[in-house]
Amino acid sequence: MTIKNILVPVDGSEGSDRAVTQAIALAEACEAKLNFLYVANINQLAINACLSDAILDAVTKAGNVILDRAMEMVPSGIEKEAFSETGSPAVVILDFATDKDMDMIVMGSRGLGVVKGVLLGSVSQYIVEQSKCPVLVVK
Amino acid sequence: MEEFSRILVPVDGSDASLKALDTAVLLARASGAVLDILTVAYFASETDTEHLVSWLPESVTRPIGPVVHEALSHAEAHVRGVVPYELHERTGTPAEEILRFAEEHGREPIVIGGRGLGRVEGLLFGSVSQEVTEQAKGTVIVVK
């Protein structure tokens, strides 16, 4: 086993920024590629049914800003790519990791979730439990 | 914490902990880190006795010394000559001792094997990796 592809789900939260920093150090050490993934938390049904183009545009833009910021943090010489998806974050992240053969997922312990008291956010929790590849949780 | 200088790998001789060790070796080789290989036993080997008569099964009453030794030597075979490492032994509740060890060593990152238990099973059967992931102050890598 080698670590050649690192998946970094980003949501613009403080925790995800720390994960990006950690992932960069890891990618540098392992000479791995960084794959940033932003998941807009909306389901396809809602998109087809009632979301206007204006709303979709706004969501896409918000995601692009977060992805651009992550991409800009990466020093030159490290391979990187940004991906944007819609759906339920935990599920989309796991599917992405499997489909694209990721060797490790690097993520924050808590994202933008509303429950402040929990030590591990629901998305991180689900991914640590279900992921087939190693998951690095940044505190 | 960005660069790894030391990495803590708790081992118990299980397949999951050996997989975690392999991942830790990869990371240590890439970052030049030293591995702290730790095994935690519920009982100290001082309580071992040669002549114990008990109605409890052998798996419960057997001496702990050889079990600890086996877990560590198994792990050592994976890393000897590959990366620098130190072997450690603690007595107590695994999750607590792992967290305490990491805390004492500057919140070093922990690479731990997970059995893949869900939240409910984890609570029922005692998921060490789950408790460590939630409670650790530093980075945790769960390997399955």
Size of interface A-B (CB pairs under 8 A): 65
Rg (CA), chain A: 15
β-partners of residue A81 are: A35
pLDDT at B19 over 80: yes
Q: What are the chain A neighbours of B141 within 8 Å (beta carbons)?
A: 104, 134-137
Q: SS3 for chain B, per residue?
A: CCCCCEEEEECCCCHHHHHHHHHHHHHHHHHCCEEEEEEEECCCHHHCCCCCCCCCCHHHHCCCHHHHHHHHHHHHHHHCCCCCEEEEEEECCHHHHHHHHHHHCCCCCEEEECCCCCHHHHHHHCCHHHHHHHHCCCCEEEEC
pLDDT of residue A98: 97
Can you tell me the distance from the alpha carbon of A115 to that of A29, in angstroms, rounded to the nearest whole number? 35
- Contact yes or no for A134 and B141 at CB 8 A: yes
**pLDDT > 90 fraction of chain B, expressed in percent and rounded:** 61
Mean pLDDT value of segment B37-61: 76
Instruction: Report ipTM for this prediction.
Output: 0.88
- Contact yes or no for B26 and A30 at CB 8 A: yes
Backbone angles phi, psi at A123, to 5 degrees: -70, -45
Closest CA to A120 of B97, B130, B2: B130
User: Which residues does chain A have with pLDDT short of 70?
Assistant: 44-51, 111-119
B-contacting residues in A 110-139 (Cβ below 8 Å): 119-120, 125, 128-129, 131-132, 134-139
Task: Determine contact, residues B102/B8, Cβ cutoff 8 Å.
Answer: yes
Can you tell me the distance from the alpha carbon of A14 to that of A16, in angstroms, rounded to the nearest whole number? 5
Mean pLDDT of chain B: 87
Closest CA to A42 of A116, A92, A109: A92
CATH code for the part of the protein at A5-138: 3.40.50.620
Residue of A25, A104, A139 with shortest CB distance to B2: A25
Q: pLDDT tens across B65-122, in order?
A: 787 888 899 999 999 999 999 999 999 999 999 999 999 999 999 999 997 666 666 6
For Cα atoms B38, B44, B50, give the angle at the middle one, nearest 5 degrees.
Answer: 125
User: What pTM value is reported for the model?
Assistant: 0.89
Structural domains of chain B, count: 1
Assigned domain for B112 exists: yes
pLDDT of residue B1: 44
Closest chain B residue to the Cα of A23, Cα to Cα: B2
B-contacting residues in A 35-54 (Cβ below 8 Å): none
Closest chain A residue to the Cα of B139, Cα to Cα: A138
Domain residue ranges of chain A, discontinuous segments joined by +: 5-138
Assigned domain for B1 exists: no
The CATH number of residue B139's host domain is 3.40.50.620
Q: How crowded is residue A54: how many other Cβ atoms within 10 Å of its Cβ?
A: 8
Q: pLDDT tens across B52-68, in order?
A: 677 777 776 677 778 78
pLDDT of residue A42: 78
For residue B87, the enclosing domain spans 6-143
